[in-house]
Amino acid sequence: MMRLPSYRYRAPKTVQDAAAWLAESPGDTMLLAGGTDLIPNMKRRQQVPSTVVGLRGITELSRTDDRDGLEIGAGVTLTSLVHDERVHARYLGLWQAVGQIATPLLRNMGTIGGNICLDTRCTYYDQSFEWRQAINFCMKKDGDTCWVATSSDKCLAVSSTDAAPALIALGATVRLVSATGTREVALTDLYANDGMHYLTRRSDEILTTVTLPKADGWRTTYWKLRRRGSFDFPVAAVAAAARFDGDRIVEARIVLGAVASRPLEVPAAAARLAGQPLTDDLIASVADDAYTLAKPMDNTDFELVWRKKTVRSLVTSALRELRGDDMRAARTKLARHPLLVIS
Amino acid sequence: MKLRLNLSVNGEPAEALVDPDKTLLEVLREDLQLTGTKHGCELGECGACAVLLDDQPVLSCLVVSHECEGRSVVTVEGLTVDGRLHPLQECFADLGASQCGYCTPGILIAAKALLDRDPNPSRDLIREALSGNLCRCTGYQQILDAVQASIVRLGEGGEQKK
Amino acid sequence: MTRPRNVIGKPRRRVDGRAKVTGQTKFADDIILPRMLHCKLLRSTVPHAKIVRIDTSKAAAVDGVSLVLTGESFPIPYGILPVSHDEHALCPDVVRFVGDPVAAVVARDEATADRAVRLIEVEYETLRTFASPADSLAYPEPRIHDYGDFGNVHKAVALQFGDVDAAIAGADHVFDDTFFFEGNTHLPIEQHATVATKDPDGKLVVYSSTQTPHYLHRALSKALAIPAAHIRVVATPNGGGFGGKSDPFNHEVVVAHAAMRLDRPVKIALTREEVFYCHRGRHPVLMRFRAGVTNDGRVTGLDLQTLLDGGAYGSYGVASTFYTGALQTVTYDIPTYRFRGCRVFTNKPPCGPKRGHGTPQSRFGQEVQLDKIAEKLVIDPADLRLNIVQPPDSLTANFLRVGTIGLADCITKVVERSGWRDKYRKLPHGRGVGLACSSYLSGAGLPINWNDLPHSGVQLKLDRSGGVTVFCGATEIGQGSDDVLVGIVAEVLGIEPFDVRAVTGDTDLTPVDLGSYSSRVTLMMGNAAIQAAERARELIAEGVSAKLDIPKSRLVFADRRVFDSEDPGKGTSFREAVCMAEAKFGTLGTTGSYTPPKSPAKFKGGGVGPSPTYSYTACVVEVDVDPETGWVTVPRVWIAHDIGCALNPVLVRGQVEGGVYMGIGEALMEEQAFRRLPAKLSHALVHKFPSILEYKSPTFLDMPEVFTDLIEHPDPAGPFGAKEVGQGPLLPIMPAVANAVYDAVGVRIDSIPVTPEKILRALEAKAAGKAPRSGPASFPEIPWPETLHVTPPWAGGDGRADNDPKRPTHRKVDAGIEAKAAGMTKEARS
Ligand SMILES: Cc1cc2nc3c(=O)[nH]c(=O)nc-3n(C[C@H](O)[C@H](O)[C@H](O)COP(=O)(O)OP(=O)(O)OC[C@H]3O[C@@H](n4cnc5c(N)ncnc54)[C@H](O)[C@@H]3O)c2cc1C
Ligand code: SF4
Ligand code: FES
Ligand code: FES
């Protein structure tokens, strides 16, 4: 059996207490939410914190509040979001993203906060200690070389969170709390395009809340590519959000997932869409913008050249769905099920 | 230093003195000797270790022992009530839903959680609900048939006596 | 007198069903013994190297560690085939792949063993990394093993049956196709585990998740130099096997040794990653098929070459090599045939037998080539096949004796059920159907260790309680062997399965059965069980006949009674009947055994392929392909399988659908793939993703709806006419998927798995006016050994090679017959 390394466990009841524990030794303390990312990583010795601060006991983190928009506690499980009628009704893209994360069992455990902070992934890195020893490790952990691109001076591990692209497309912000204070940042600013330092979160900060602005007039959608209908992380994904005035787009955001070390916004696409009706030609140009920007590397399932090509098709499907085309058959084929998760 | 845990397992109080680095899976199998719960990866990738934790189906290989204090756990051993098999168990046994049987405990747990929540799910919904459990033997068809048959049996009042 | 059957043929809950659904089945890792210690292996982190130094002192010093072992403790090699005893429990001097075990720690608990094993220091002197067959063919040195045919070629074989070259040259059309089948692995959900202990009187007991307790028994005896009589091997129910638990494994030998040395139980439970290193899965195979075909679609001759990437050890490899060429002739009439196969060593986990052992790869090539032939000749692929189905009770060109053949019925069934005639070449672009067939052995005709002993033995104990216990060495791996055993005994004795207790897979308690491999158990154990049960019935009948004065011939065994067929009221309960027999004969016990018939194939290599009977399968697969991306989904599969007789239809259906499942996985996504880091920077050659997440096994959501039909052409060789079902139904899925993709979008994917990348590449090639295909470009030159020439039966051959030097008198080949062989190209044979 794979076993955990030894660690010290702390169970704070409040965010303040958690922040205090974290402040003690932020370098080798990690937060534990659902554990579906951290526990496997610890078993594989990719992350070996000496102290683990469990967030489970902090009830305030698992609240969802209807304010101006929706304020979701970092500890809310993915299953609760999928079963949350408000998410389904107002933030369909987020619902589609969350409903396709991992598996139903993992969604019962995994939290939205953990998903946002999910470690970047790479097939040279998500391996046991012994396996990594056999390649003499890599830059992200215990080694020097990036085997994905041996001349690269930075790690190119892949941002694999499904929720983040959807949240960014929806204009989400997050609250970060530390022993020294609280700050609110746009979610997009939480990320950096660097496989090792993929979060701008300071190691003494706790992500407490994700806030979604009011959804008035916005339509959103999420298209995910993965080998199987379940379990698999995205290998390419797109979240698209647009505010319409009649059939004309007023404002739009396109965010790609799993093709860089961070969720990748496509500003050119947003600019191109603003003020336009969604014609087939426009969709094709936007798909091109996204295709050009996407930089998948050879460190996930599937071949990178093909993954890059699929970005066009994903963006096309997403925009067509926003336009109102009936995309159910295409979605069922891609997702391998009709996304029935709500019950 | 060992960790003292008090939990409710299959409706009965259980106390264990465990290695604190263990997961719930290890505590169940090794300390409580409830080996009905299986494991195929210990990384959340197969579903064999599913148990109900406070009525939610979760992967016991990813639950740290520290977070189990005071909680209620139901394993495959707890599906049988007063000597009677759960209708799911009856149907799985009758209809070939269990071949080698190694994935079966986890699938039964996930299926029970589904039927507890939704007594009459469609075949598509059953598929979705069980999609976190891999089975290498059956090709899933007979599992789907068994879950559907158990819905009928439950509907006919074939519930277990409590 | 035939009478209706009570058990056989009825859908029933399997005898071990209750245990499985209540979590009471004890798998190996569920065994917990008092004072049990735990073992962890240290595995090589380099692909190919000499071990220069091992320092275990730090590990030995860890509190709680009882024993640290290295290769020194295991001087005796072992292996599954007598011709390749090339494994040591721990590598003594050379490591041959990343994952090869070099040391072991036994400690108080697994966590301690895990901690300690990481403290062992090993210094390696690296050797050239052989990452592919191309490497192994190009560089004969350094040799990965110091045995084998030459250089890094483990085995090369060449067989010819009739004048293939003339037959192909004289054909109307010649098809020449190359195919590749990527390796894949079994992925049983249960990871291998073993518990070894010394029993109170000092003998070794090993509980293990093995499909072949008998071979493990032999291997332990050899590797540990302990007489087999002093070793007990108990095969625990396997949480899936599929061939992956058929070799004796390092960890089994290590814990057996440790338990004997420490006089304490020792357990080892492998991680998922280690299971990938045990492997013994599907060989990656490159193939070239050259076929001569007449205008009406008859094959005049087939010339097949295969190249297998064997990985680092022999395993079943020699057999696997022959299997890539063995079964081409049992489905279709192929009058002349040449097969050349070559297996090379590389620095990867060893390949071996996975469901279909060696045959799915070439089945894929053959069935896709037939699809191409049908296309070119404008014949419906179903009709093409129906036209050339091998006739029943025939002897193939390579001397395989086939019995009943339900293949034509299978084809007809799936054609009808799937609506094939309305779909093939008629569905809109992007949707398609594909058809393929297959056949598989119901047990290998020859044992692994050649001898005249039975392949399966059954003992029956009956006593005054009325209880019947049946003992057999067969191993329950999920396929339902316990159920078959009990069902047969219950049927013959007219009692209920619940009345019969099965004791299986225990070398101390049960007579030998060779193991759960080659789809042999139902047929061989079943026949042995019938014999044992009939002998018991005979004794009971004598007892009852004497006591109740009913002629023996009139006694019926049914409904837990023994009674007069002419006066059913007259009789007695089964329990009383057993008492009567026990009173008459003393303590009751019977045995049954089974040995397959001798094969007419007498040439070297003819030992692989013969079977008492063959199963047949046909399937139609429907696919949906997105022409933009190559994304492929499989909504439906129709499959018909000639099972001979379905002993328990619930289990048979389960095996068929399980086979379809694994076939879908292999067809679309499963790959045992490796990474070779840039040679300038590193020697590393690693399994690309030894995890159950990244090794893609279809989920509930990826599985098509399957429509299963069972065709029953009972074969007298099988128990109640039954044939195998564990492996055959997997085989046609992969080619049917590829054929369906062609029907959908007009591109040939000549390489497995059929991935969206390959489809898109082929579509792009097609759009660019290039060959609309994705697959290997060529087959390399291989220095084949001298071909063994065997004259086919229809030309008067006697099953021996004409140029066999050991042949009593060198056979003079009748020139007329050879000419006839060539001439046959134009005429249909009767
Ligand atoms: C087999 C498998 C498949 C998966 N598939 C997918 C998938 O398809 N898509 C996907 O997006 N994810 C997938 N995941 C990953 C994971 O399940 C989800 O991302 C989940 O949402 C993570 O949440 P968690 O609460 O379990 O995170 P944890 O493991 O508890 O934490 C993840 C990381 O976030 C940090 N963290 C957690 N909470 C906070 C906080 N409040 N503030 C600051 N840092 C925090 C942790 O320290 C850790 O580094 C998969 C996981 C597995 C094992
Ligand atoms: S991208 Fe490079 S550095 Fe980053 S995890 Fe992968 S191999 Fe390591
Ligand atoms: S053991 Fe595989 S998911 Fe827990
Ligand atoms: S029955 Fe064997 S894995 Fe499901």
In tens, the pLDDT along A238-250 reads 999 999 999 999 9
Q: Residues C32-45: what's their mean pLDDT? A: 98
Output the average pLDDT for chain A: 96
Helix residue ranges, H only, A161-266: 163-169, 187-190
Where does residue B33 rank: exposed (0-12), middle (13-18), buried (19+ CB within 10 A)? exposed
The answer to whether B138 contacts C658, with C-beta atoms less than 8 Å apart, is yes
pLDDT band at residue C821, thresholds of 50, 70 and 90?
very low
Tell me how far apart the alpha carbons of residues C667 and C634 are, in angstroms, rounded to a whole number: 10
For residue B139, how far is its CA from the centre of ligand 4 (angstroms)? 9
In whole angstroms, how far apart are CA A77 and each of A37, A63, A98, A103, A239? 14, 10, 10, 13, 21
Tell me how far apart the alpha carbons of residues C259 and C240 are, in angstroms, rounded to a whole number: 26
Q: Which atom of ligand 3 is nearest to the CA of B46?
A: 2
Cβ B2 vs Cβ B19: under 8 Å: yes
What is the distance in angstroms between the Cα of B32 and the nearest Cα belonging to chain A? 17
The answer to whether C701 contacts A303, with C-beta atoms less than 8 Å apart, is no
Q: Residues A15-27: what's their mean pLDDT? A: 96
The answer to whether B139 contacts C658, with C-beta atoms less than 8 Å apart, is yes
B40 lines ligand 4 (CB under 6 A): no
Which of A103, A106, A343 is the best substitution to test chain B (most B C-beta atoms within 10 A)? Answer: A103
For residue C11, how far is its CA from the centre of ligand 2 (angstroms)? 54
The answer to whether B117 contacts A343, with C-beta atoms less than 8 Å apart, is yes
- Which positions in chain A have a beta carbon within 8 angstroms of at least one beta carbon in chain C? 1-3, 123, 126-131, 133-136, 145, 147, 150, 227-232, 301-303, 305-306, 309-310, 313, 330, 333-334, 336-337
Kindly report the backbone phi and psi dihedral angles of residue A27, in degrees, each rounded to the nearest multiple of 5, phi listed first. -65, -35
According to the model, what pLDDT value does residue A116 have? Answer: 98
For residue B21, how far is its CA from the centre of ligand 2 (angstroms)? 28
Amino acid at C572: T
ipTM of the prediction: 0.97
pLDDT, tens digit, for every residue of C483-505? Answer: 999 999 999 999 999 999 999 99
Q: Is the pLDDT of residue C777 over 50?
A: yes
What is the distance in angstroms between the Cα of C272 and the nearest Cα belonging to chain B? 5
Q: Which atom of ligand 1 is nearest to the CA of A110?
A: 26
Contacts of A228 in chain C (CB under 8 A): 669, 696, 698-699, 701-702
Contacts of C202 (CB under 8 A, 6+ apart): none
Cβ A51 vs Cβ A21: under 8 Å: yes
Contacts of B12 (CB under 8 A, 6+ apart): none
In order of start, what are the domains of chain A with their CATH numbers? Answer: 62-117+158-335 (3.30.390.50)
Structure tokens at C213: 């307790």
Q: Is the pLDDT of residue A95 over 60?
A: yes
B46 lines ligand 3 (CB under 6 A): yes
Tell me which chains share at least 3 CB pairs under 8 Å with chain A: B, C
Contacts of B119 (CB under 8 A, 6+ apart): B151, B154, B155
Q: Across the B/C interface, how many CB contacts are shorter than 8 Å?
A: 175
Buried b (16+ CB within 10 A) or exposed e, C373-400: bbbeeebbbbebbbebbbeeebbbbbbb
According to the model, what pLDDT value does residue B156 have? Answer: 80
Opening angle at CA A205, ends A200 and A209, nearest 5: 90
Q: What share of chain B is helix, strand, coil (3-state, %, to 5)?
A: 40, 20, 45
Cβ A43 vs Cβ A7: under 8 Å: no
pLDDT, tens digit, for every residue of C432-476? Answer: 999 999 999 999 999 999 899 999 999 999 999 999 999 999 999
The answer to whether C21 contacts B89, with C-beta atoms less than 8 Å apart, is yes
Q: Residues C200-217: what's their mean pLDDT? A: 98
Amino acid at C140: P
A29 lines ligand 1 (CB under 6 A): no
Q: Is the pLDDT of residue C263 over 80?
A: yes
Cβ C87 vs Cβ C313: under 8 Å: yes
pLDDT, tens digit, for every residue of C382-428? Answer: 999 999 999 999 999 999 999 999 999 999 999 999 999 999 999 99
Tell me how far apart the alpha carbons of residues C250 and A98 are, in angstroms, rounded to a whole number: 43
Q: Which ligand is nearest to the CA of A152?
A: 2
Tell me how far apart the alpha carbons of residues C231 and C242 are, in angstroms, rounded to a whole number: 26
Tell me how far apart the alpha carbons of residues A111 and B47 are, in angstroms, rounded to a whole number: 18
The answer to whether residue A333 neighbours chain B at the CB level (below 8 Å) is: no
The answer to whether A337 contacts B118, with C-beta atoms less than 8 Å apart, is no
pLDDT band at residue C2, thresholds of 50, 70 and 90?
low
Cβ C649 vs Cβ C638: under 8 Å: no
Q: Residues C253-271: what's their mean pLDDT? A: 98
Q: Which atom of ligand 4 is nearest to the CA of C239?
A: 2
Give Dmax over CA atoms of chain B in angstroms.
52
In order of start, what are the domains of chain C with their CATH numbers? Answer: 36-127+186-278 (3.90.1170.50), 153-185+281-446+602-774 (3.30.365.10), 453-594 (3.30.365.10)
More confident residue, C150 or A216: C150
According to the model, what pLDDT value does residue C537 have? Answer: 98
Q: Give the chain B residue nearest A332 (alpha carbons).
A: B124
pLDDT band at residue A78, thresholds of 50, 70 and 90?
very high
Structure tokens at C416: 């009808």
Q: Is the pLDDT of residue C355 over 90?
A: yes
pLDDT, tens digit, for every residue of C300-323? Answer: 999 999 999 999 999 999 999 999
Which DSSP letter does residue A111 get?
Answer: B
In order of start, what are the domains of chain B with their CATH numbers? Answer: 3-78 (3.10.20.30), 87-157 (1.10.150.120)
Helix residue ranges, H only, C171-311: 213-224, 250-262, 272-278
Tell me how far apart the alpha carbons of residues C517 and C210 are, in angstroms, rounded to a whole number: 11
pLDDT, tens digit, for every residue of C606-647? Answer: 999 999 999 999 999 999 999 999 999 999 999 999 999 999
The answer to whether C629 contacts A231, with C-beta atoms less than 8 Å apart, is no
What is the distance in angstroms between the Cα of A157 and the nearest Cα belonging to chain C? 15
Q: Residues A76-96: what's their mean pLDDT? A: 96
Q: Give the chain C residue nearest A307 (alpha carbons).
A: C757
According to the model, what pLDDT value does residue A342 have? Answer: 52
What length is written for chain B? Answer: 162
Q: Is the pLDDT of residue C820 over 50?
A: no
Buried b (16+ CB within 10 A) or exposed e, C736-755: bbbbbbbbbbebbbbbbbbb
The answer to whether A343 contacts B64, with C-beta atoms less than 8 Å apart, is no
Among B24, B37, B42, B53, the mutation site with the greatest number of ligand 3 atoms within 8 A of its Cβ is B42
Q: Whose CA is nearest to atom 3 of ligand 3?
A: B44
Q: Which atom of ligand 2 is nearest to the CA of A149?
A: 2
pLDDT, tens digit, for every residue of C58-83? Answer: 999 999 999 999 999 999 999 999 99
Q: Residues C785-796: what's their mean pLDDT? A: 97
Q: Is the pLDDT of residue C825 over 80?
A: no
Q: Is the pLDDT of residue C828 over 80?
A: no
A198 lines ligand 1 (CB under 6 A): no
B103 lines ligand 4 (CB under 6 A): yes
Structure tokens at B20: 């604190």
What is the distance in angstroms between the Cα of C806 and the nearest Cα belonging to chain A? 49
Q: Which atom of ligand 1 is nearest to the CA of A117?
A: 34
Q: Give the chain A residue nearest C759 (alpha carbons).
A: A306
Cβ B139 vs Cβ C706: under 8 Å: yes
Q: Is the pLDDT of residue B104 over 70?
A: yes
According to the model, what pLDDT value does residue C184 have? Answer: 98
B29 lines ligand 3 (CB under 6 A): no
For residue A155, how far is its CA from the centre of ligand 2 (angstroms)? 5
Cβ C155 vs Cβ C321: under 8 Å: yes
Q: Whose CA is nearest to atom 4 of ligand 2?
A: A155
The answer to whether B103 contacts C14, with C-beta atoms less than 8 Å apart, is no
Q: Which ligand is nearest to the CA of A60?
A: 1
Tell me how far apart the alpha carbons of residues A156 and A259 are, in angstroms, rounded to a whole number: 10
* This model's pTM is above 0.80: yes
Which DSSP letter does residue C628 get?
Answer: T
